[in-house]
Structure 1
Amino acid sequence: MRRIDAILIALGIFFLGGVIYYVFQSIGFDATQAGIWSQGLLVLGLMGWVLTYLFRVFTNNMTYHKQVKDYDDAFFAKQLEKMSPEEIEKLMEDNN
């Protein structure tokens, strides 16, 4: 993620908080209650995002892990292409 992307996401969340605040005010909450509820929703959203991040970390479903696995798969496929059928058969026998 580029720095400008992170800045734009932060600004978007900041403005989303303001929109939520004004929505709560428009449905009848006073300024204090609207502020509390809008902050509460933003905190719950942040906690949800952190939980999805932690889930991806613990299940090794991160972009880096996928890239390493793709690289390893491509590397071993290329190595198998270079091997003769006899070498592949010997390798299979060694693994059994």
Structure 2
Amino acid sequence: MNGFENIQISSPDELKKIFLLIAQKEKEGKITQIINENDLFCTKISISEILDKKKNPDFIRYYFQDLIDNNKYLLSVETYHGIGGSLEKLDG
């Protein structure tokens, strides 16, 4: 997933761009959501559902996997206070 490593998110506009990119790649079948049962705060709805609702959850921990290179990623964002977050490649 070229370009998804270590992206810092500091505004709602930046987050929306990431959401749109993830939703498009999901639609194309290039990535898939992973439900991390070990993370109590793991987001269990899709990015497309979040976009459809037009309201972000207070906290997002969205795991996904690139189906081409098998890399795994975590989008972690605190939206309630607008603190921001990151999109990072996970090890292994």
**More strand as a share of residues:** 2
TM-score above 0.5: no
TM-score by length of 2: 0.27
Ranked by relative contact order (alpha carbons within 8 Å, sequence separation 6 or more), the top structure is: 2
Q: Which protein has the larger Cα radius of gyration, Structure 1 or Structure 2?
A: 1
TM-score by length of 1: 0.26
